[in-house]
Amino acid sequence: MADLFEDKAADWDSRPIPAQISDGVGTALIDSVRLTPQMRVMDFGAGTGLVCSQVAPHVEKVYAVDISEAMLAQLASKTELAGKVETVCQNILQEPLGKPVDLIVSAMAMHHVEDTAALIETFSEHLQSGGQVALADLDKEDGSFHPADTEGVFHNGIDRESLRALLKSNGFGDIKFSTAVTVTKEDVDYPIFFATASKL
């Protein structure tokens, strides 16, 4: 499979929009989820570790999952994450992690997964009983956020109520939505939602 982020990985952290989104999502996560030193976390679509870097100091272990080797190579080069974060380059829908986790975080990755229902089911299967998800992505938009020829974008954002229904049908409760941050591109505002839920 082609690495769609190979050409973007080297300067990803210096791009203003990923940095803005990661700051907003990281703040929402720290404010909303009780992180503990015993916690094992999966960061789905971890990329270069912009969100992972904010979570790792508070938990025991983070599995940084992504299908982009180039992005994970950037993450692995961050010395402050050594020993805390394990990079995992695989598609967990086809090859599960094999290690139960207490929390799954994801920022701006769900719209790159074609089958959202299968993804939420996979998240549930990876979580311990009582585990949580903290998911952030674009709100449903008109398709203008990404350039028209962008590969690997299956959804123009994610509809909050559709996601709520998927979470409920996969055994999640205490589902809460907020807006983590709003980014502006070419005078258009794009809200980024932040959703938390607990596996019942």
Instruction: Calculate Rg over the CA atoms of the chain.
Output: 16
Q: Is the pLDDT of residue 6 over 70?
A: no
| pLDDT one-digit tens code per residue, 50-80 | 999 999 999 999 999 998 888 899 899 988 8
Please give the residue that has the higher pLDDT: either 154 or 61. Answer: 61
Q: Is the pLDDT of residue 106 over 50?
A: yes
CATH architecture of 12-199: 3-Layer(aba) Sandwich (3.40)
Mean pLDDT of 123-147: 93
The pLDDT value given to residue 62: 97
Cross-strand pairs, 61: 40
Measuring CA to CA, which residue among 45, 51, 60, 134 is closest to residue 99?
60
Angle between the N-to-C axes of helices 160-169 and 116-126, in degrees from 0 to 180, rounded to the nearest 10: 40
The pLDDT value given to residue 189: 93
The pLDDT value given to residue 195: 97
Which range (9-13, 85-89, 165-169) has the least confidence?
Answer: 9-13
| pLDDT one-digit tens code per residue, 32-54 | 999 999 999 999 999 889 999 99
The amino acid that residue 141 corresponds to is E
Residue 9 banded pLDDT, cuts 50, 70, 90: low
Q: Is 61 helix (H, G, I), strand (E, B) or coil?
A: strand
With 0.85 as the threshold, say if the pTM is over it.
yes
Please give the residue that has the higher pLDDT: either 151 or 108. Answer: 108
Q: Kindly list the strands in the beta sheet with 101-107, ordered across the sheet, starting from the edge strand earlier in the chain.
A: 85-89, 61-66, 40-44, 101-107, 127-138, 188-199, 172-185
- Average pLDDT of the residues of the chain: 90
Q: Is the pLDDT of residue 96 over 80?
A: yes
Helix (H) or strand (E) holding 29: helix 16-32
Does residue 118 contact residue 93 with C-beta atoms inside 8 Å? yes
The pLDDT value given to residue 154: 84
Transcribe 158-183 into DSSP letters: B-HHHHHHHHHHTTEEEEEEEEEEEE
- Helix, strand, coil distribution of the chain in percent, nearest 5: 30, 30, 40
